[in-house]
Structure 1
Amino acid sequence: MVPTQCGGCGEPGTDWCGDCARTLTDSPVRLEPRVEIGVAAWALGRYRGTYRSTLIAMKEHGRRDLIGPLGGALARGIVTLSQWGEIPDGDTLTLVPAPTRASAARRRGGDPVAAIARASADRLGRRVAVADALATSARARDSAGLDARARVANLSDAVYVRRRFVPSSRIVAGPVLLVDDILTTGATAAQSCRVLAAHDLHVSTVVVIAGA
């Protein structure tokens, strides 16, 4: 038997405690990444405390049960940003998960960013869809430990739109949000936005769970 503990703070006897749930209701914070993205970037919180430990537990320790709470937090953040006027009005809203290396997704039992986006869309309603449009080529290495310049070079020509992805009129008609778990330098977000724009998909806002 594996003891149950909170994925955010380690409190025994519960998989997700009330204090951590309340922390994820913080108001979004505006980010100023070192790499120019071209659109506003927002985070639900800073990459420390509950935000950091929850993402590590989900990504590195197999806590897939945390996708639900994170998806719910992302949905609340999107609603708040919409109320603030930071997300354009539209009949539809499309969430595009930032690309994850295939090897990392396999190791983690699936793409956690895409899973969070889908959990968020489920809470936001039928007018919100997830477009799994982006992928990263195998030649891109893990960006951990790289500075901003090295991250840009690492992702140059490595992010691409999947061949099977065909933009629908529904996606083009409404705002598009790029969604990620962590924004560090902004290199992934910037390259993703450029690639999507080349396919006539223009990101309105970048929203991440945590900003480093």
Structure 2
Amino acid sequence: MGDTPRGPGELLDLLLPHSCGGCGRAGTAWCADCAAALSGPPLRIRPRADPGVPCWALAAYRGAPRAAVLAVKEHFRRDLTKPLGVAMARGLDHLRDTARPLVLVPAPTRRAAARARGGDPVTRSAIVAASWLPGCRLVRMLRMRPGVRDSVGLGHSDRQHNLRGRIIVATTRPPGVLFPANAEVVLIDDVLTTGVTMCESVRALAEADVTVRAVLVTCAA
């Protein structure tokens, strides 16, 4: 009845109707079926390059999880940050020792890639995950040196050469300041392919006297 004024969000929905980031279903940004694909207990994975700590994934890199990761990274679907972060929080809740503080360290990304994507989607999802878990905090302390190439299309040995020595700790603050006593440190990423990034990240953290307890990724390729 009558012409009810519409808010900016409603007008945007009329111009750009929602579609599910996992399956493309119209009318929702993230449907219940796709959410279910990331809701189970994390899967233990064993990458070709072993970082020396247990590695876990919420799902295999196919179907809805793969589509959601690509939508965030390549199609600027920032609306998927929350559901992916919540799925990460649930996975962490399966793995963590609730008697100990939990610290999430996002895997580093190339600065050029972060600029192209309007920020780092891994860190955004990790922030959401940390906000959902009691006794959890996020510490951003890893970065890539200049000169790292995009890893898409690189084989295992090329990935090793590309990243060897190029992931570093980007803070001079001591671990005792950044991490609560007895904290469990978990490395977070979106996709684990060969494990080279995790190996270099664990190495860099170990050199800074930070012990990583586990790796958790959204998808295992």
**TM-score grouping bracket, smaller chain normalisation:** over 0.9
State the Cα distance separating 1:163 from its structure 2 match. 3.4
Of the candidates 153, 157, 164, which is equivalent to residue 161 of structure 2? 153
In structure 2, distance between residues paired with 1:172 and 1:122: 16
The one-letter code sitting in structure 2 at the alignment partner of 1:209 is: T
State the Cα distance separating 1:16 from its structure 2 match. 1.2
Task: Give the structure 2 partner of residue 134 of structure 1.
Answer: 142
The one-letter code sitting in structure 1 at the alignment partner of 2:186 is: L
Task: Give the structure 2 partner of residue 112 of structure 1.
Answer: 121
Identity of aligned residues (%): 45
Indicate how the Cα distance of structure 1 residues 91 and 28 shifts in structure 2: closer, same or farther if over 3 A, else same: closer
State the Cα distance separating 1:55 from its structure 2 match. 0.3
In structure 1, distance between residues paired with 2:132 and 2:109: 23
For the pair shown, which has the larger CA radius of gyration, 1 or 2?
A: 2
**Match status 1:189 vs 2:198:** yes
Task: Give the structure 2 partner of residue 85 of structure 1.
Answer: none
In structure 2, distance between residues paired with 1:165 and 1:51: 36
Of the candidates 71, 76, 85, which is equivalent to residue 62 of structure 1? 76
Residue deviations 1:72-123 (CA, integer Å, cap 9, x gap): 00000011123xxxxx565311000000001111111111111111100000
**Normalization by structure 2: what TM-score?**
0.89
State the Cα distance separating 1:8 from its structure 2 match. 0.8
Matches within 5 A, 1:196-211: 196-211=205-220
**Normalization by structure 1: what TM-score?**
0.93
What RMSD, in angstroms, separates the aligned Cα atoms of the two structures?
1.4
> For this pair of structures, how many residues does the alignment match?
206
In structure 1, distance between residues paired with 2:126 and 2:187: 10
State the Cα distance separating 1:157 from its structure 2 match. 1.5
129-138 or 18-27, which moves further after superposition? Answer: 18-27
Ranges in structure 2 where 5+ consecutive residues have no aligned partner: 1-14
In structure 1, distance between residues paired with 2:46 and 2:98: 24
